[in-house]
Amino acid sequence: TEASGFFDYLLPRFTAATGIRVRVIAVGTGQAIRLARRGDADVLLVHHRPSEEAFVRAGYGLRRHSLMYNDFVIVGPASDPAGVRGATDAVAAFRKIHGARAVFLSRGDDSGTHRRERSLWRASGIAQSGIAQSERAGWYREIGAGMGRTLNTAAAMPAYTLVDRGTWLSFGNRGPLRLLVEGDRRLRNPYGVIAVSPKKHPHVRAGAARQFIDWLVSEAGQRAIGSFRIGGEVLFHPVARPAGSRAPSQ
């Protein structure tokens, strides 16, 4: 999310509307949740719903607000040794990558992207023990880094990897990498925003956190989210309903 330039676009609009400045700590979902549990953040904005809901259930967050979504894509070498180009089934693509022993680069950093990748491997029927064995064999490699470094390394190898569409669109060093797999509903990537509970951490800036979330889910905030584009393409699709609005009829 940070690598796409999204916060540089969005936050000045919030500051102009409220006078409140936001400092972003850009880390993966797992680390972000650990920081928030320690009270080292006022607001949590991440993209792994099960972890977000667990955070609220444990009393560390006040409420999860659905904010927006984008999607993940699988990118890889233009030569496509696993033969996944054009596929819309991400799990089948992972099986093909495994079957071909084509190099796959994992963030390996407990981020939301890494957690989604692991869920796709589980869905493919490839056990974690199998991944460990294959890592020793050399085709599955964990880098323990953010998305930008992972993409740069994948381009240099080259290798397949999982990336959110926003970061891919803003990534300038693609080299031999191409977007190969997209469109699977299992690649949808919802984001939630949660205020850290002042009952757990009385020092948090609860008022400013509330104003930030209220703005994000307001008509103005949702319009700002939906207007962020790279190359004319919308990166994040707003899903919050402003107070008083009605859900669309089905």
DSSP string, 52-63: HHHHHHTTSEEE
Taking the complete model, does pTM exceed 0.95, yes or no? no
Q: Determine the pLDDT at residue 250.
A: 29
Evaluate whether residue 155 is within a structural domain: yes
Mean pLDDT of 165-177: 93
- Give the model confidence (pLDDT) of 23-65 as tens digits: 999 998 999 999 999 999 999 999 999 999 999 999 999 999 9
Model confidence band, residue 249 (pLDDT cutoffs 50, 70, 90): very low
Q: Are residues 161 and 172 both part of a single domain? A: yes
Of 142, 157, 185, which marks where a domain is finished?
185
Cα distance from N-terminal residue to C-terminal residue, the chain? 31
Q: Are residues 80 and 55 both part of a single domain? A: no
Are the C-beta atoms of residues 93 and 84 closer than 8 Å to each other? yes
Are the C-beta atoms of residues 8 and 211 closer than 8 Å to each other? no
Q: Are residues 81 and 177 both part of a single domain? A: yes
CA distance 137 to 87: 26
Supply the CATH number for residue 165's domain.
3.40.190.10
Model confidence band, residue 137 (pLDDT cutoffs 50, 70, 90): low
Q: Are residues 222 and 164 both part of a single domain? A: no
Of 166, 185, 204, which marks where a domain is finished?
185
Evaluate whether residue 248 is within a structural domain: no
Model confidence band, residue 248 (pLDDT cutoffs 50, 70, 90): very low
Q: Per the structure block, which two tokens stand in for 163?
A: 């990336």
Q: Are residues 34 and 137 both part of a single domain? A: no
Evaluate whether residue 14 is within a structural domain: yes
| Residue numbers of the domain that contains 32 | 2-69+188-238
Q: Are residues 165 and 230 both part of a single domain? A: no
pLDDT at 186 over 90: yes
CA distance 54 to 51: 5
**24: helix, coil or strand?**
coil
Q: Are residues 50 and 64 both part of a single domain? A: yes
Residue 233: what are its φ and ψ, rounded to 5°?
A: -100, 130
Evaluate whether residue 167 is within a structural domain: yes
Evaluate whether residue 246 is within a structural domain: no
Q: Are residues 165 and 224 both part of a single domain? A: no
pLDDT at 127 over 90: no
Closest CA to 23 of 219, 226, 212, 238: 212
Q: Are residues 168 and 83 both part of a single domain? A: yes
Q: Are residues 91 and 23 both part of a single domain? A: no
Q: Are residues 82 and 140 both part of a single domain? A: yes
CA distance 225 to 220: 9
Q: Determine the pLDDT at residue 241.
A: 72
Evaluate whether residue 140 is within a structural domain: yes
pLDDT at 96 over 50: yes
Of 170, 185, 200, which marks where a domain is finished?
185
Are the C-beta atoms of residues 192 and 205 closer than 8 Å to each other? no
How many independent structural domains does the chain possess? 2
Q: Per the structure block, which two tokens stand in for 22?
A: 């936001």
Q: How many CB atoms lie within 10 A of CB 209?
A: 22
Evaluate whether residue 101 is within a structural domain: yes
Q: Determine the pLDDT at residue 134.
A: 63
Q: Are residues 15 and 95 both part of a single domain? A: no
